[in-house]
Structure 1
Amino acid sequence: MQRTKLSLLKARVAVKQLTGSYDEAREDSERIRELAQQIGDQQEVAHALVDMGNTFKSKGNLQTALELYELALGIWREIGDRGGEGKSLYSIGVVHFNRDEYELSLRYCDEAMKIQREIGDRVGEAFTLSNIGTVHCSRGDYEQGLRHYEETLRIFRQIGDKRGEAGALNNIGAVHYFRGDYEQALVHCEKALELHRAIGDRANEAGTSTNLGAVQYFRGNYDEALRYYDTALRIQRQIGDRHGVAGSLNNIGKVHHDLGEYDGSLRYYHQSLEIYREIGDRVGEAGTLGNIARVHYERGDLDPALRYSQLSLKIEREIGNRLGEADALCCIAAIHTCRADYRAA
């Protein structure tokens, strides 16, 4: 009976994580951990800790995610589960990447990949290679990033993992995008989109549509960008991905902002802000508050611009996002300068 309940809860966690219902996913993961502890299944306890870590990571709470992954790592090592150990090392590496701790991220990913190669975990190896590629790209080393993504793509094709193949194509497209090679970015992302549609992967279809929208946005093709963003938004609403919906609303708001359609931009930003607050995504909330502030600033509405900038600054400081904090401070300084309040600026 307990095993059946565990299986049902695990399936529900997977669905909740996919749809962005992170609080519900965390609650179910906590129930799984309690059940697993009751029946003495340390492996399931560790799996639950990893799932809980994933939900905290998705909401931007990286410190708690790291602590949970480290607890899971200790259990995997204690029971001698090399696969689980590799999985946790990879997860820890991802957290360090998200904290801009690139050397630590590479160190943990290298440890993970060594284990994954020893035990023949090709899927795990591919994901770890992908994260290593992302670290290199974030440091501006696109050649190294591209090399790791192409190796990832080769593995996924060898093992016939269409979902992984599509993800790798997406990442390769992203490298070309950041290098300004928009044609190659479109080619790879469109291939990824075809695969997502072929296998019925609606969530990643939405994600790739978002990437294609971003490429068109930076090419100045706003109609095409809106078409892709609208596609992503429609899918995300259909599958109940509230986090994705918030992001797409934000993207659509940015297009309207750039077009000078301030009322439309604010309408989309406020819808996005409401969702970010409901799901507890403080990173998204802070960024959206900053976007709203910039619209008001450009309209000359300095009082609301200052109010939203200060709200954004407060959250950026609370979550430790130094780059976001700097952006908010720059906006506040610009507002005070417009008011000729040079001392406050």
Structure 2
Amino acid sequence: MNGEPSAAPRPDRHEESPESREAALRRVVVWYLHSADAAQTWINSQEAHIPLDPPGDDLTPASFADYEEAMRWYEAERGNLLAATRAAEEAGLDVIAWQLPAVLRSVHMLLNPFEEWLAMSRIGLRAARRLGDRAAEAELLESLGMACTQSHRLSEGAEYHQGALAARRETGDRLGEALSLNDIGLIHLRGRRLEAAKDQFEQAAARFQELGAAQWQAVVTSNLAEVTYELARTEEASGFVERALAMHRELGNQGGEGNALRILSAVQRDRGQAEEALRSAEAALDIARTHRNHMWEGYWLLELGRAQRANGELDAALVSFQRAASLQRRLGDQAREARAWHGAGETYRRLGRPGEAADFHRRAAAVHRELDDLWHAALALDGLAGALREADEGDGTGAAEEARRHWAEALRALASYDDPRAVTLRERVSAALAQ
């Protein structure tokens, strides 16, 4: 690797004029900006680069031979990257102050360093607004929206994405408009506003097709597959996911391919194709591990665990859910960590160990309540109540009344959902309470 962290320009402040100190600081932050841009090429090559001015003939940014070198540089320089962004703002270098967090967004979205992601993006947004640069403002609003979505601050994230959409429409950025529509769809999908999500994805898909944006067309086709799967339209979801898979493979986009395989596995489970579902989930995990991408691995392990459980591989499923929980804890995604606990709880129930199942479901329900994620809270509460009733049948501990309380809470949580899966769950919970 050229340009190790120690090779970054270091100003000597002794007996320097203010002009010299300003020039030295500018060299440092420009070095970090272009080095971060070089790291993005390896860490998240699918994301578009922010156009940057050349660094200058007297400055050699870091360069990297592979993903691992780029990641080592990023991990070593994380604190300095935040400090450089703050220094750029304090020095009035507003162009660099917005560009540096915009460049790093593609890294942050894979690694979820929420504190610095939000802090840097807010600095960048202030700088863009001081410049009156609406296109730059949209980039930072999108970054903030993504950070909020991935940390499950959905209302806040929706506001940022709506702001980005307005800025992009104002500037005539049609590709950016389509990206914002897709982002808003993802917010609705996480909040289980499924018809609203589908509408946003369809609008985005039409624009991507008009623009010939093949990569993004593949991404939004995967999103349409996921939302139609959640709407229990299995055949429609199957058509979308098969198209998305073919598109990602043609483009050589392995990350998109892995995500499509995750969705395909879920569709296959719904259709009773347990062995096919397992093969699809395993293929997705192979991609994640080949790329050493812990975000993909942690998320796709949830589907692998479900496929393993559907095939009766219960011990293997527990390993997958425990690994997923560990990775999500490291990534700071509480919602997905809680989903892994829920998966472990369901697996312990299949193993005939309702006490351990109840412990995992209880932890999952607590986190989903805290995040105001009513859908997943209802799923966890249903699992908890079922485990408690089974425990009561086994040893007469008197847990049946507690189970009824949790099912009643689950029904209240489900009241705001009217999609087919929610209706089916509500009917089943009502039947359990009626027993």
Pairwise CA distance, 1:240: 1.0
Whole-Å Cα distance in 1 between the matches of residues 231 and 388 of structure 2? Answer: 36
Look up the match of 1:85. 137
* Structure 1, unpaired ranges of 5+: none
Greater percentage in helix? 1
Return closer, same or farther for 1:174/1:332 CA change in 2, 3 Å cut-off: closer
Look up the match of 2:281. 229
Pairwise CA distance, 1:233: 0.9
Structure 2 contact 145–158 (Cα < 8 Å) conserved: yes
Look up the match of 2:293. 241
Query: Is 1:202 the counterpart of 2:254 in the alignment?
Result: yes
Structure 1 contact 53–66 (Cα < 8 Å) conserved: no
Return closer, same or farther for 1:191/1:237 CA change in 2, 3 Å cut-off: same
Structure 1 contact 60–281 (Cα < 8 Å) conserved: yes
Pairwise CA distance, 1:257: 1.7
**Residue of 313, 319, 322 corresponding to 1:270:** 322
Q: What is the 5 A alignment of 1:249-268?
A: 249-268=301-320
Pairwise CA distance, 1:38: 4.5
Q: What is the 5 A alignment of 1:98-109?
A: 98-101=152-155, 107-109=159-161
Structure with bigger RCO (C-alpha 8 Å, 6+ apart): 1
Q: What is the 5 A alignment of 1:134-153?
A: 134-135=186-187, 140=193, 142=195, 145-153=197-205
Return closer, same or farther for 1:124/1:268 CA change in 2, 3 Å cut-off: same
Whole-Å Cα distance in 1 between the matches of residues 128 and 319 of structure 2? Answer: 48
Pairwise CA distance, 1:271: 3.3
Query: Is 1:174 the counterpart of 2:223 in the alignment?
Result: no
Look up the match of 1:282. 334
Q: Return the letter of the residue paired with 2:36.
A: L
Whole-Å Cα distance in 1 between the matches of residues 123 and 165 of structure 2? Answer: 20
Query: Is 1:31 the counterpart of 2:80 in the alignment?
Result: yes
Look up the match of 2:397. 341
Structure 1 contact 53–64 (Cα < 8 Å) conserved: no
Structure 1 contact 242–275 (Cα < 8 Å) conserved: yes
Q: Return the letter of the residue paired with 2:282.
A: D
**Residue of 36, 47, 54 corresponding to 1:9:** 36
Q: Normalization by structure 1: what TM-score?
A: 0.80
Q: Return the letter of the residue paired with 1:191.
A: R
Structure 2 contact 111–295 (Cα < 8 Å) conserved: no
* Structure 2, unpaired ranges of 5+: 1-8, 10-27, 46-66, 403-435
Return closer, same or farther for 1:65/1:311 CA change in 2, 3 Å cut-off: same
Pairwise CA distance, 1:82: 1.1
Structure 1 contact 292–305 (Cα < 8 Å) conserved: yes
Q: Return the letter of the residue paired with 1:273.
A: A
Q: Return the letter of the residue paired with 1:127.
A: L
Pairwise CA distance, 1:47: 3.9
Structure 1 contact 206–236 (Cα < 8 Å) conserved: yes
Match of 2:397, SS state, is coil
Return closer, same or farther for 1:152/1:330 CA change in 2, 3 Å cut-off: closer
The CA deviation string for residues 230-286 of structure 1, in whole angstroms up to 9 with x for no partner, is 111111111111222223332122122233332232233233334334444433332
**Which shifted more, 40-49 or 320-329?**
320-329
Match of 1:240, SS state, is coil
Structure 2 contact 281–304 (Cα < 8 Å) conserved: yes
Match of 2:287, SS state, is helix
Look up the match of 1:216. 268
Q: Return the letter of the residue paired with 2:349.
A: Y
Return closer, same or farther for 1:306/1:75 CA change in 2, 3 Å cut-off: same
Look up the match of 1:298. 350
Q: Return the letter of the residue paired with 1:31.
A: N
Q: Return the letter of the residue paired with 2:200.
A: H
Return closer, same or farther for 1:216/1:318 CA change in 2, 3 Å cut-off: same
Return closer, same or farther for 1:133/1:9 CA change in 2, 3 Å cut-off: closer
Pairwise CA distance, 1:188: 2.4
**Which shifted more, 199-208 or 282-291?**
282-291
Whole-Å Cα distance in 2 between the matches of residues 24 and 219 of structure 1? Answer: 45
Percent sequence identity over aligned pairs: 23
Look up the match of 2:212. 160
Return closer, same or farther for 1:295/1:94 CA change in 2, 3 Å cut-off: same
Whole-Å Cα distance in 2 between the matches of residues 14 and 73 of structure 1? Answer: 23
Pairwise CA distance, 1:23: 11
Structure 1 contact 230–248 (Cα < 8 Å) conserved: no
Pairwise CA distance, 1:65: 5.4
Whole-Å Cα distance in 2 between the matches of residues 121 and 100 of structure 1? Answer: 24
Return closer, same or farther for 1:85/1:147 CA change in 2, 3 Å cut-off: same
Structure 1 contact 170–189 (Cα < 8 Å) conserved: yes
Whole-Å Cα distance in 2 between the matches of residues 216 and 268 of structure 1? Answer: 19
Q: Normalization by structure 2: what TM-score?
A: 0.65
Whole-Å Cα distance in 2 between the matches of residues 22 and 290 of structure 1? Answer: 32
Q: Return the letter of the residue paired with 1:34.
A: A
Pairwise CA distance, 1:198: 2.1
The CA deviation string for residues 80-109 of structure 1, in whole angstroms up to 9 with x for no partner, is 2211211233344456664342xx655543
The CA deviation string for residues 180-239 of structure 1, in whole angstroms up to 9 with x for no partner, is 333332222222222222222111111111122222122221122122211111111111
Return closer, same or farther for 1:303/1:23 CA change in 2, 3 Å cut-off: farther
Whole-Å Cα distance in 1 between the matches of residues 72 and 332 of structure 2? Answer: 8
Q: Return the letter of the residue paired with 1:12.
A: A
Whole-Å Cα distance in 2 between the matches of residues 331 and 185 of structure 1? Answer: 26
Whole-Å Cα distance in 2 between the matches of residues 283 and 141 of structure 1? Answer: 18
